Amino acid sequence: MSYIGSLDQGTTSTRFIIFNRAGQIIGQDQLEHQQILPQAGWVEHDPLEIWQRTQEVIAGAISSAKISASELTAIGITNQRETVVAWDAITGQPFANAIVWQDIRTTELLSKIAQADQIKLRAKTGLRIAPYFSASKIAWLIANTPHLQEAIALSRARIGTIDSWLMWNLSGQHITDVTNASRTMLMNLETLDWDDELLSIFDIPRSVLAEIRPSSQIYGHTLKSGAFGTEIPIAGIVGDQQSAMIGQKCFSKGDSKTTYGTGNFALINTGGEIVHSTHGLLTTVLFKIGDAPVQYALEGSVAVTGSAIQWLRDQLGIISTASDVENLASKVEDSGGVYFVPAFSGLFAPHWRSDARGAIVGLTRAATSAHLARAALEAICYQTREVLDAMATESGITLASMRVDGGITSNKLCMQMQADILGIEITRPDIAETTALGAAFAAGLAVGFWSSIDAIQKLDTGQSSWFPKKSSEFREAGYSQWKKAVVRTLDWVE
Ligand code: ADP
């Protein structure tokens, strides 16, 4: 038999998942790695630990699927985006811990970039000037790691996102894909190549960076001496959010999905068009399948969604597990006029206000923990609506339905509330692992395991749907109250 393996290297854990031709999981393994927090605002991972976990989950998944590695027709890689690693090409040893996407140590470095350069950066990359993206992290690593500087001078340094670190270890090649490169703030969205002007703003030599390739293509083979013990084509590399789009089959212009996790990430396929945002969204590469033209997306990120549920659990103690929130919120018909804006560390899209702080408004003597639980779920849904409204305005595409995935989507009450608050159908695929499935699709397309995007569209992997049950008057009245509550959170920090 033949299968596709998907390596999903996430922020908290690494998974290897094996799919059959029907897109079903036949084996998987998952291991967490350490979150290293050396000081406030810093988040690091140990690249060697990630590589170690990667090898373990590969072995674990192959054993749980009861297959041999040689039955894998190809493998794909999907990964936490923006996180950077620097390593020595001769010894394979990292020069420092990986700097993770959540790390904000480069805020000050970015504030020194001249206004004219900031404008260039935004225009060429579609991103906002934020420590979130890779460029300032790479600049920081080079400036603060003397061994790395020496290795650059000797042409033995390699720097890249996590996909390229894994690719190097699996195959010995320094390769990344267009989706990961589009999050570095160093790639030009039009040329799909590193941009000399951007490189010089951050003083990063082109020679240390990986070659940028399509998201679906045979890049090379796993080393016989390595984790698989045999040569398998590596044929897909896609950043995690873009991979979830592919896993959700969002191949056509106007298709969109929202992933509900710690925060939310909504993407909409804008086809071959680069849509520059004036409403707080990011422009990014969605994918490039082989020689076919590149597809772009608009992305809206919401900082706090699932983590507001964690807050109810860990700080307030009104639930003992995240899934308990559904039961508690079901005890009341509505939130009783309570609105909860969880702007714990500012607001991301579409506001991008780092000075915002959270608020609970509309409290009366009758308000209970159930009302607050319901308001927290509504906050997830209203924040999603804000992002989707911005997307509709900018792309000119009004959604007829929205595909969802991620941990919160197991909450049926929340999904019904989302359908009511958006006024459109919500669909959730039965397969929860859409991120891994996307990289499997990318790899499978490159080797002919799936003959075409059409063939993938026809796979019936099953889904659940929720339809709006409330009137548009109800919807708009609630949303307008929500907007008033958001205003209360702005300008809070002096
Ligand atoms: P991530 O990939 O960002 O780690 P997951 O997709 O695993 O996130 O989702 C985990 C998040 O979803 C947590 O923040 C948790 O609080 C929230 N969550 C999990 N189950 C539920 C539920 N049934 N209802 C609401 N929130 C939930």
| pLDDT of amino acid 352 | 81
Question: pLDDT tens digits, residue range 158-168?
Answer: 999 999 999 99
Please state whether the peptide bond connecting residue 350 to the residue before it is cis, i.e. omega within 30 degrees of 0.
yes
Q: Which has the closest alpha carbon to 438: 222, 259, 254? A: 259
Residue 470 lies in a domain: no
> Count of domains in the chain?
1
Mutation choice for ligand 1 from 309, 321, 326, CB with most ligand atoms inside 8 A: 309
Residue 89 lies in a domain: yes
- Displacement of CA 336 from its chain's centroid (Å): 34
**Nearest C-alpha to atom 18 of ligand 1 is from which residue?**
408
Tell me how crowded residue 180 is: count the other CB atoms within 10 A of its CB. 31
Supply 240's token pair: 């995690």
Q: Is 413 in the pocket of ligand 1 (CB under 6 A)?
A: no
Residue 459 lies in a domain: no
pTM listed for this prediction: 0.90
Residue 139 lies in a domain: yes
Average pLDDT of the chain is 94
**CA atoms 68, 71, 73, 76: torsion sign:** negative
Question: pLDDT tens digits, residue range 169-218?
Answer: 999 999 999 999 999 999 999 999 999 999 999 999 999 999 999 999 99
Beta bridge partners of 238: 78
Residue 188 lies in a domain: yes
Pairing of strands 282-287, 264-269: unpaired
Q: Identify the CATH number of the domain in which residue 206 sits.
A: 3.30.420.40
Residue 67 lies in a domain: yes
In the reported structure, the alpha carbon of residue 239 is separated from the centroid of ligand 1 by a whole-number distance in angstroms of 20
Question: pLDDT tens digits, residue range 118-144?
Answer: 999 999 999 999 888 999 999 999 999
pLDDT at 40 over 90: no
Mutation choice for ligand 1 from 100, 262, 328, CB with most ligand atoms inside 8 A: 262
Lowest mean pLDDT among 109-118, 341-350, 374-383: 341-350
pLDDT at 345 over 80: no
pLDDT at 230 over 90: yes
| pLDDT of amino acid 493 | 65
Integer Cα distance of 415 and 302 in angstroms? 17
- Residue 63, burial from CB neighbour count under 10 angstroms (0-12, 13-18, 19+): exposed
369-395 and 412-422 helices, crossing angle to 10°: 50
- Residue 241: pLDDT band (50, 70, 90) is very high
Beta bridge partners of 79: 9, 239
Which has more confidence, 104 or 123?
A: 123
Residue 483 lies in a domain: no
Residue 481 lies in a domain: no
- Residue 77: pLDDT band (50, 70, 90) is very high
Domain that holds residue 31: 3-248
| pLDDT of amino acid 303 | 82
Reduce the DSSP state of residue 460 to 3 states and report it: coil
CB of 395 closer than 8 Å to CB of 298: yes
